[in-house]
Structure 1
């Protein structure tokens, strides 16, 4: 058995109103040498209360829950400076909620039906400071709700003008759902170069991650819905 090292441990907090679901997630996560579950809650309100004293790196958040739903809880958590990242899980029969969770600041979302290895990979990606974007699903959501985006959202479009031509090009490709590797192949550059560009884009646009970059691309009119 691989030894667990607290120094590099990803501390995860589980929020789901189904205790069996939480138990299943806990079993999968605790079997990993680099993950530990530091707490769990059955609704958003209880999660927020516990997280005032429990330190974690990432919250795995259900959307539909009693008392306080996952969208509202995500919005409050992501408003906390240096607060935990949020990875939302959805059955995807609630498109509106999944979209709202992304706008609330979630660093991505997955379907609850994903294989365990996909959930583990997503947790590592989000904990590492990146975002999990399922390209086709995210594009479908944003296209469907594009009418809610635009100048009325209050986005400061002048920020986009701070980008260089290459950064602008990279942002458009990110918004189209391409991975870093796919962007690198498209632009004939190294993947590390793409990561550098994305880091600069996020800094200049004052964004947390690439999910927020995709949303801003829609809000600013850089990307038009495909429907």
Structure 2
């Protein structure tokens, strides 16, 4: 069995467990951030579970790097995998890869290319927004002069940032919050560009197909003057 086959089998076997681990990671992080009255014992348990799931992702990356046989080329060709190992809050974006795998279990994808891009972008925006809202809330709500004092404020700020609206009524004041804001702005532009670009391409393609279906000489009835 060659390395490509072993790597493919590893991915197929671990995609669902790693997706579940991603959900557990984000859930533990969310509970520790949002429930400030949680007993310290439970907080320690959640922290241990968080580190265990993080370790699973590191092991998965190391195994795939070893099976690929590409050495440093694997890091260059899989930048997102390396980023999410360093920033585990982006781990839930693995659901996009899982969705891609499920869609291709048949010979042809079940969704058109444009619909898939829009679906992936929307799903990524929800997951990225939730993770970003948690991080900003954790950094901001106890900071002096903070305008983001509740999780609702953080969600509102996240929505306005990802959609590039930016009302400015609530803004991060801490270095951590502003760092997250930079990534949220970049992510919002990328996701919005993917959605609008795909929709525009779909509209252009639709009109082009309609024109190709028209018979030569113009619309029906033009030749007989009626």
When you count helix as a share of all residues, which structure comes out higher? 2
Same fold at TM > 0.5: no
TM-score normalized by the length of structure 1? 0.27
The structure having more radius of gyration, on CA atoms, is 2
When you count strand as a share of all residues, which structure comes out higher? 1
TM-score normalized by the length of structure 2? 0.27
